A and B are shown apart, each in its own frame.
Chain A
Amino acid sequence: MRRSLVITVVIVLLLVFGFIYYAIDPATSTVFPRCTFLTLTGYKCPGCGSQRAIHALLNGDIKGALGYNAMLIVAIPWIALCLFAEGQRTRRPRLYERLNAPLLIWLFLVAVLAWWVLRNIFNW
């Protein structure tokens, strides 16, 4: 009961936000929030460009999406798989343990840090 409520809420939120981000372009609109880290420090954070990337992706512009935040677009299938495993943690502990292997988390950690540094150097 509680489980199905959570899933329903998540799907409704995804649909609502999906529509907002599909319909309005964050690059030209002022209603979308700006990145705190970028505003405060002047440096991009690993998540900068995510809103524009999602807008581009929802409009079928994969190349544009990769240009705004390549890491997010590459990570989306992995995030989806991890979310599935999270919901099935007690039913499929083996899948959960494999996805949460130390090596994979290390790889992601290094990838995020590298992405953070490199995108500020090369202005990605």
Chain B
Amino acid sequence: MQYWINHNGVQSGPVDAEGIKELGLTSRAYVWSQGMSDWVRITQVPELEGLYEVVDEPVTTGQPLQPQNITQVQQPTSTQPVNAQPLNEQPNEAPEPCPPTNLVWAIISTLLCCLPTGIVAIIYSLKVTNKYREGDIEGAKRASEIGAWWCIITIILGILSMPLISLMQLSVMP
């Protein structure tokens, strides 16, 4: 994997993980490689862990160059990030974690509550991850809420209906 580096405003790369070690970077550096939609802090790339010095002061000068500067520095342009702008606006923003998919509860309610409505909850957890991966955080949150309600409905109906059904059966059988 080849990485482009931006450390304190100075751009370098492409280098591989071994080359990153030799650059003597700090945790303030930004990296980009093919497949990433934008520059990320080097601390967010698990493959590069331990290859840089960890410093905890806030980023002041470490912002990457404007996209046009980047293309001036090197070729090929096709492998450059499409847009490095958002980083300049909010350099310290952490990516939002995926909203709850409720998958475990969907599985548990399907396998323990004896009601097919658990399947609906599984479909909603699928919806949550798909929307989250598309970048539709709002849609993911909505699907997450609906899915949670399906889990709750399944579990409550399961707990209520099973003893009721058993009682009815007992009263019919003897």
Contact = CB atoms under 8 A, between A and B. Distances in A.
A20 B141 CA distance: 38
B101 interface: yes
Contact of B166 (A34, A47, A96): A34
Interface of A: 30, 32-40, 45-48, 50, 69, 71-72, 75, 78-79, 82-83, 86, 89-90, 93-94, 96-97, 99-102, 105-106, 108-109, 112-113
Nearest to B105: A86
B126 A105 contact: yes
A32 B118 CA distance: 21
Interface string B9-24: 0000000000000000
Interface of B, secondary structure class, is helix
Nearest to A101: B129
Among B103, B108, B118, B126, chain A packs the most CB atoms within 10 A around the CB of B103
Contacts, number: 101
A23 to B, nearest CB: 19
A29 B163 CA distance: 13
A111 B157 CA distance: 24
B112 A47 contact: yes
Interface of A, secondary structure class, is helix
Among A33, A86, A89, chain B packs the most CB atoms within 10 A around the CB of A33
Among A32, A45, A69, A100, chain B packs the most CB atoms within 10 A around the CB of A100
B129 A102 contact: yes
A68 B95 CA distance: 44
Contacts of A99: 103
Contact of A109 (B123, B128, B165): B123
A82 B7 CA distance: 38
B33 interface: no
A119 to B, nearest CB: 12
A102 B133 contact: yes
Nearest to B104: A82
Given A34-B169, A38-B114, A96-B97, 5 more contacts: A30-B166, A32-B166, A36-B115, A47-B110, A108-B122
B98 interface: yes
A8 to B, nearest CB: 19
Contacts of A96: 97-98
A46 B166 CA distance: 19
Contact of A33 (B110, B118, B125, B163): B163
Nearest to B99: A89
